[in-house]
Amino acid sequence: MATPPDPTRARAEKDATNWLILLQEEPDDPSVQADFQAWRAASPVNDDVWRHTQKAMGIVAALPAGNTGNWQADHKVAAGATKHRFPVFQSRRRTLVAGVMALAACAALVVFLPDITLRLRADAMTGTAERVTLTLPDGGTITLAPSSAVTFGPGGDRRHVTLLAGEALFSVVHDEKRPFLVRAGAFETEDIGTLFDVSRQGEGLTVAVKAGQVRVRGGKLPPQGVDLSAGQMITADAATFHTTERPADQMSAWADGFVLANDEPLGCVIERLRPWLQTRVIITPSLARQPVSGAYSLADPDAALQAIAQARQANIRRLGPWMTVLY
C-alpha cells in the first residue's frame, strides 16, 4: 500500500519552491532574508526540505555570493519571529508573479516552439506518452514511440520514410523492386525483409533488428554500409559507430510496454523513459553512472521512474509538476 503524502511536508516543499524564486528575485533585500530565515527556523520540516532543495538543485553555487553564506549558515531565530512567516509574499506579490510569468513564458518557448516547427514538417507525430501505429498500403506498419515524428517521401511514398525525431518500430513487407528506406539525419537504413527499430538522437541514431536483416549507411560507416540481422544493433553518429548484440525479443521493448535494463547506466535508462514522462528529469552525474537492471512497466511512467530511482536508493525531489530531480 502506498504511503499517503505528508501534508506538512508537501506544504513545506511548495513554500521552498516559492522561496527559491523569491530569493533570486530579491537577492539583496534584508527583509526577504529575515523572513526566509524565520520560515526556515519555524519548523524542522522546513529546514529539512530546504536542505533537500539545496542539494537537489545545486542552487548555492548558482546564487550571488551574498546569498550563499545565508543559505549555508545555521542561523538561530527567536521563537517570536515565526509570526512574520511569509508577509513578504503579500508585499512583493507583483514581483513574484512577474518572475513566475517570465519563467512560464520561457518554458513555453522552449517546449512549444520546437514542437510547432516539427508539426509543420511531419506527416505523423506523437506527443508525450502517446504511441501510434500507422498501417502502410502494402500491409506493413510503423509504430511511433512517444515524442516521435516521421515524414514520407515525395507524393506520400510510404516506402521512403524520414524519422524527424524520436523512435519508431518498422514492420516491413519486403519488395526487391521497391526497397523500404528510413532516413534519420545523415544515415539511411534499408530493409532486407525485416522488423526493425530506429531511434534518433540528434544527428546520431540507433538501429536494432528484431527479425530479418537491414543495411545501414552514412556517417563514418563503410561505403558499402553495415548489415545487421536479428539480435544485432548499431549506434552511430557523425564521428563513430559501434555494434552490439542482445536477445531479439528484448529489442524495442517499449512497443510491448516496458523499459528493459541489463546492468546499464541509470542515466541511459531514464533517457529511454523520458518520452513517457510529463515532467523534466534532472539527474546528478554520479547517480547517472550507476548501473541498474530490471523490467519497468510503461503503464505507469511515474511509478517506473520511482522504481528506477529506488534501485539505487536515490532520492527524488519534485519541484511542482514540471521538474523532478534525482540525486
The residue behind cell 545501414 is: 216
> Which domain range does residue 80 map to?
7-114
pLDDT at 135: 93
Residue 261 C-alpha cell reads as: 535494463
Task: Based on the fold, state whether residues 245 and 262 are members of the same structural domain.
Answer: no
CA 167/CA 185 separation, integer angstroms:
13
In the chain, the amino acid numbered 211 is A
Query: How far, in Å, CA of 135 to CA of 143, rounded?
Result: 9
Any idea what the CATH number is for the domain that residue 284 is in?
Answer: 3.55.50.30
Which residues on neighbouring strands pair with residue 198, listed in sequence order? 168, 207
Instruction: Please give the grid coordinates belonging to residue 4.
Output: 499517503
Domain tally, the chain: 3
C-alpha dihedral over 325, 145, 213, 221, to 10 degrees? -50
Cell of 240: 563513430
Is residue 310 domain-resident? yes
Both 140 and 243 in one domain: the answer is yes
Name residue, grid cell 559507430: 241
Which among 189, 219, 250 is the end of a domain? 250
Cβ burial of 123 (10 Å; 0-12, 13-18, 19+) is: middle
121 in a structural domain: no
- Are 90 and 24 part of one and the same domain? yes
240 lies in the same domain as 133: yes
The pLDDT score that the predictor gives to residue 249 is: 87
Q: What is the pLDDT of residue 115?
A: 65
State which of 51, 85, 114 marks the end of a domain. 114
| Angstrom distance (rounded) from CA 99 to CA 103 | 6
Helices (H), the chain: 7-25, 30-41, 44-57, 59-62, 65-72, 87-91, 93-121, 266-273, 285-288, 301-311
Quickly tell me which residue has 506493413 as its cell: 140
**Residue 102 domain-assigned?**
yes
Which domain CATH number covers 201?
2.60.120.1440
**CB-CB contact of 307 with 264 (8 Å):** no
Name the amino acid, one letter, at 218.
G
Instruction: Say yes or no: 174 and 75 in one domain.
Output: no
Helix (H) or strand (E) holding 41: helix 30-41
* Cβ neighbours for 64, distance < 8 A, ≥ 6 positions apart: 27, 28
What distance in Å separates the CA atoms of residue 118 and residue 150, rounded to the nearest whole number? 9
- Do 156 and 239 lie in a common domain? yes
Instruction: Record the cell numbers describing residue 75, joined without a space.
Output: 542561523
1 part of a folded domain: no
Closest CA to 36 of 16, 8, 11: 16
Residues 21 and 67 in one domain: yes
- pLDDT in the model for residue 109: 46
Residues 137 and 244 reside in one and the same domain = yes
Evaluate whether residue 119 is within a structural domain: no
Residues 144 and 225 occupy one common structural domain: yes
pLDDT tens digit at each of 327 positions of the chain? 334 456 677 778 777 776 776 676 677 778 778 888 988 999 998 888 888 776 665 533 443 433 333 333 333 333 333 333 333 344 444 444 444 444 444 544 444 445 677 778 899 999 999 999 999 988 999 999 999 999 998 877 778 999 999 999 999 988 888 889 999 999 999 988 789 999 998 889 999 999 999 999 999 999 999 999 999 999 999 889 999 999 998 899 999 899 999 999 999 999 999 999 988 898 888 899 999 999 999 999 999 999 999 999 998 888 877 888 898
Among residues 193, 228, 250, the one where a domain terminates is 250
**199 is a domain residue:** yes
Q: Are residues 33 and 56 in the same domain?
A: yes
213 lies in the same domain as 102? no
Note whether 134 and 243 are same-domain residues. yes
From CA 114, how far away is CA 109, in angstroms rounded?
8
